[in-house]
Amino acid sequence: MSSGLSALSSVLLIRTVPKVGKCMRHHSSGLRSMDLLMAFLSVISVCLVCARWWGHREWSPQTLQLFYDVDSLICYFFLAHFAYGWVRAPDRMAFFKANWFYLPGSLPMVEQLRWARLIQLWRVYQLLRDRPDLLVMFRRERNETTLSGILFLFFLLLGVGSGVMYWLETGQPGSLIQTPYDAFWWTLVTLSTVGYGDLVPRTEEGRFVASLLILFGVGLFGALSGFMASLFVHPGKTNDDTTLWRRQQSEQQAQLLQELKALRAEVKALQQK
């Protein structure tokens, strides 16, 4: 009977260990909240490059220069994200070998290399093809999801606000916002809640848009301040890959022990008959 128990236990181990390995592989290479933000910025970057290469007739030279500068800022954001992942990686050499092809599209010096951002989009597309449970991912990685959401809203409002303000204010009598750079600078200052006051909208439509951006800016920076405060108050609560993998492994081991206890109870019941 003991030999039968050992055989059944071996079967349970063989059946459960692949599940643990599958969870490990899925978590180490699965979709993350920051990947969605990187994909959004990659789409913006590709659109800006397309506008610079084929939009010389539709856009003014100053607007094209603004597109180049904004795209360069996105490059620096990509470099910071890559450096952060490299510093946090337990095996930095393995991280670099697995993600080095993201670097060419992050270099702000060579505009031709920015087409490499399509690699980031292709990676996110492949991960989305696995149909991950986005709600579970958002709940599991709350800190990363919160930060990604704040940055996404900030970049979205910065782009939309600049375009709308330029469209409303340019060419209007007495307006101080006459160039794309003026609109971009005003939107950035307004969202950051600094408010220098060097540029102000003059039209009623522009002031209405300004009031909305002010409210959104206060909310965004309030959320960012709360997020940073939570990190300092609870520094031990992290959602890194190692912690989550250990928790999944503990759950799998607990499930295995429960199955073994149930199996022993059944074997004991059979012995008593």
Please report, for the domain that includes residue 145, its CATH number: 1.10.287.70
CA distance 71 to 191: 19
Assess whether pLDDT exceeds 50 at residue 19: no
Annotate 100-130 with b (16+ C-beta within 10 A) or e (fewer): eebeebbebeebeebebbeebbebbeebeee
156: containing domain? 141-231
Q: How many domains are contained in the chain? A: 2
The CB-side HSE value for 169 (13 A sphere, CA atoms) comes to 28
Mean pLDDT of 151-173: 89
pLDDT top residue among 173 and 229: 173
The alpha carbon of 148 is separated from its chain's Cα centroid by a whole number of angstroms, namely 5
170 and 79 in a single domain? The answer is: no
8 in any annotated domain: no
Lowest mean pLDDT among 19-28, 105-114, 153-162, 245-254: 19-28
Domain-ending residue, one of 91, 106, 133: 133
Same domain for 182 and 221, yes or no, is yes
Average pLDDT, the chain: 78
pLDDT-derived band at 9, boundaries 50, 70, 90: very low
**CA 74, CA 70: separation in Å to the nearest integer?**
6
Write out the two tokens for 115: 């087409």
Between CA 103 and CA 80 the distance in angstroms is 11
- pLDDT band, very low/low/confident/very high, at 222 (cuts 50, 70, 90): confident
Instruction: Mark whether 158 and 72 lie in a shared domain.
Output: no
Tokens of 214: 């002010």
As a whole number of angstroms, the distance between CA 144 and CA 34 comes to: 7
**pLDDT score, position 208:** 92
> The tokens of 10 are what?
């071996």
Average the pLDDT over 243-264 and give the result.
Answer: 76
Assigned domain for 16 exists:
no
Instruction: Please compute Rg for the chain using Cα positions.
Output: 26
pLDDT confidence of residue 233: 65
For residues 36 and 233, what is the distance between their CA atoms, to the nearest angstrom? 27
pLDDT of residue 112: 79
242 band by pLDDT with thresholds 50, 70 and 90 = low
Confidence (pTM): 0.67
Would you tell me how many other CB atoms lie within 10 Å of the CB of residue 249? 13
DSSP state of 106: G
Q: Looking at the structure, tell me whether residues 128 and 179 fall in a common domain.
A: no
**Going by C-beta distance under 8 Å and a sequence separation of 6 or more, which residues neighbour residue 30?**
127, 130, 132, 137
Assigned domain for 104 exists: yes
In the predicted structure, residue 81 carries a pLDDT above the cut 60: yes
Cβ pair 151, 221 in contact under 8 A: no
The domain boundary residue, chosen from 113, 133, 153: 133
